[in-house]
Amino acid sequence: MDKIIIRGGNRLSGTVPVSGAKNAALTLLPCALLTDEPVTLRNLPRLADIDGFQHLLNQFGISTSIAGARPEDFGRVMTLQATRLTSTVAPYDLVRKMRASILVLGPLLARAGEATVSLPGGCAIGNRPIDLHLKALEAFGAKIELAAGYVRAIAPDGGLPGGDYSFPLVSVGATENALMAAVLARGTSTLHNAAREPEIVDLCNLLVAMGAEIEGIGSSDLTIHGVQRLHGATYMVMPDRIEAGSYACAAAITGGDITLAGARMEDMAATAQALRDAGVLVEAVRGGVRIASDGDLRPVTLSTAPYPGLATDMQAQLMAMLCLAGGSSVLTETIFENRYMHVPELNRMGAHIETKGRTAIVHGVRQLHGAEVMATDLRASMSLVIAGLAAEGESQVHRLYHLDRGYERLEEKFALLGADVERVGGD
Ligand code: UD1
């Protein structure tokens, strides 16, 4: 298995292109199930998760073709067409690798009137149920059965009537599934306390481009008037605010000065505020966002929350950065339990972090030291890379497949910024 070797100490500088957002792409791709016409997605990141999702969609008879991808380009263009669905079953061996596979449930049900999806796997960040996905679909009129590790959803009489659902807690994936199910319902549906992450807005924008009728886009109250059919569309995936935030933390911990080309400040306001509170300069510049730091980081108190709060997907990277702050920071993780798996690994690199339940206290240290480390999820892996960039000596981050799920050509991007990061085979 590949690993990443980082020789720390280089100050990052230069410009790095921000890729298309993984989490937006993973909800835009299944929209192709909703129409027999072609859907073309531009700026799709080249990631293992996207390849996996493409493979899953092929399983249902969707044809996919990729255009205009020269090896040196970041991103690519994919055209998907579901002229006729040949299957409505998402099998275990595909779904277990990627939790986002559950996002085919809503659109399959809407298009075909039935769907059978294996219960998902994905990142090991705590217990991640799908009860809210199922409750929302039930509220729209679906009949749901659970058997032998599979969810079977059926729309009585071939189509969902539509309905009203109020989420007891904010769920990104359940909001996405519900939206994709409701757009082809016979009647009007409403969602209350819906997630309003920028990726949800991206999903709504594609659905509207395909002919869907959605009111309240960007708010937590959505009204979806079902339409009889949707048509094809060409759509540009939004920039990845989490990738951008990750490179921002890397720049800050090295006392660097970088430009995140293509990043949108409005999507990453909470991350920008956290960085500013830590003493980092964050400013909108032409075509992106500039991050600059003199390496003198201040401790901060942070708590993750649904958007527009601080993204849980930024917690590990900010924690790595705060390991070198001049004092103690307090981080609280409110979205997922068990999302501090990077803490023992950071401590092995010389960090001083204590956890108690959902809270982590990060006592700033003067110096981190290179070590061999590994993480069990995507963002945790990135936090170890960030620590390695500032550490004295060499670090090796194992289990690179986590990073390949969510960071497009990471070592090339870090090389653009002057970091000494190398991918090598063998583990
Ligand atoms: C998405 C993102 C993930 C991010 C997370 C929170 C994708 C592919 N993944 O994951 O990167 O960390 O949002 O911003 O977009 N929950 C339930 N029942 C459900 C669904 C969720 O209890 O049916 C709980 C979860 O356990 C968690 C919380 O709700 O505690 C939020 O999860 P959710 O927003 O659904 O995360 P995902 O959509 O899985």
Same domain, 108 and 92: yes
Residue position matching structure tokens 């008879």: 61
Percentage of residues of the chain with pLDDT beyond 70: 97
pLDDT of residue 137: 98
Residue that terminates a domain, selected from 209, 236, 263? 236
Strand order in the sheet with 281-285: 13-17, 257-261, 288-292, 281-285
pLDDT of residue 157: 85
Q: State pLDDT tens for residues 217-232.
A: 999 999 999 999 999 9
- The CATH number covering residue 329 comes to 3.65.10.10
- The protein residue whose alpha carbon is closest to atom 35 in ligand 1 is 171
Question: Where does the pLDDT of residue 328 fall: very low under 50, low under 70, confident under 90, or very high at 90 and above?
Answer: very high
Alpha helices, DSSP H, located in 183-296: 198-209, 241-253, 269-277
The atom number, within ligand 1, closest to the CA of 49 reads 8
Integer Cα distance of 31 and 35 in angstroms: 8
- Does the pLDDT of residue 125 top 50, yes or no? no
Same domain, 48 and 140: yes
Residue that terminates a domain, selected from 210, 236, 262? 236
Same domain, 108 and 225: yes
pLDDT of residue 122: 46
DSSP state letter for 239: B
Q: How many domains does the chain have?
A: 2
Let me know: does 7 contact 423? Beta carbons within 8 Å. no
pLDDT of residue 73: 73
pLDDT of residue 94: 87
pLDDT of residue 353: 98
Same domain, 231 and 277: no
DSSP state letter for 29: G
**Among 49, 128, 315, 317, which is best to mutate for testing ligand 1, by the most ligand atoms less than 8 A from CB?**
128
Residue that terminates a domain, selected from 236, 266, 293? 236
Task: Report helix angle 241-253 to 315-322, nearest 10.
Answer: 10
Q: Which helix (H) or strand (E) holds 373?
A: strand 372-374
Burial class of residue 141, CB neighbours in 10 A (0-12, 13-18, 19+): buried
- The protein residue whose alpha carbon is closest to atom 8 in ligand 1 is 23
Same domain, 182 and 300: no
Same domain, 209 and 286: no
pLDDT of residue 136: 98
Give the distance (Å) from ligand 1 centre to CA of residue 308.
15
State the pairing for strand pair 328-332/301-303.
parallel
Integer Cα distance of 135 and 98 in angstroms: 21
The separation between CA 51 and the C-alpha centre of its own chain, rounded to angstroms, equals 15
Q: Which two structure tokens, joined as six digits, stand for 396?
A: 């090796």
- Binding-site residues, ligand 1, Cβ < 6 A: 23, 26, 99-100, 128-133, 169, 171-174, 311-313, 335-336
Same domain, 300 and 343: yes
Question: Where does the pLDDT of residue 127 fall: very low under 50, low under 70, confident under 90, or very high at 90 and above?
Answer: low
Same domain, 232 and 243: no
Give the distance (Å) from ligand 1 centre to CA of residue 345.
24
Same domain, 254 and 370: yes
Same domain, 343 and 243: yes
Give the distance (Å) from ligand 1 centre to CA of residue 335.
8
User: What is the domain extent for residue 192?
Assistant: 22-236
Same domain, 271 and 232: no
Same domain, 218 and 267: no
Percentage of residues of the chain with pLDDT beyond 90: 88
Burial class of residue 59, CB neighbours in 10 A (0-12, 13-18, 19+): middle
pLDDT of residue 120: 73
Q: What is the chain's mean pLDDT, rounded?
A: 94
Q: State pLDDT tens for residues 66-93.
A: 986 676 777 899 999 999 999 999 999 8
Question: Where does the pLDDT of residue 123 fall: very low under 50, low under 70, confident under 90, or very high at 90 and above?
Answer: very low
pLDDT of residue 351: 98
pTM: 0.96
Q: Give the residue numbers annotated as catalytic, written as ranges.
A: 123
Question: Where does the pLDDT of residue 256 fall: very low under 50, low under 70, confident under 90, or very high at 90 and above?
Answer: very high
pLDDT of residue 68: 64
72 or 284: which carries more pLDDT confidence? 284
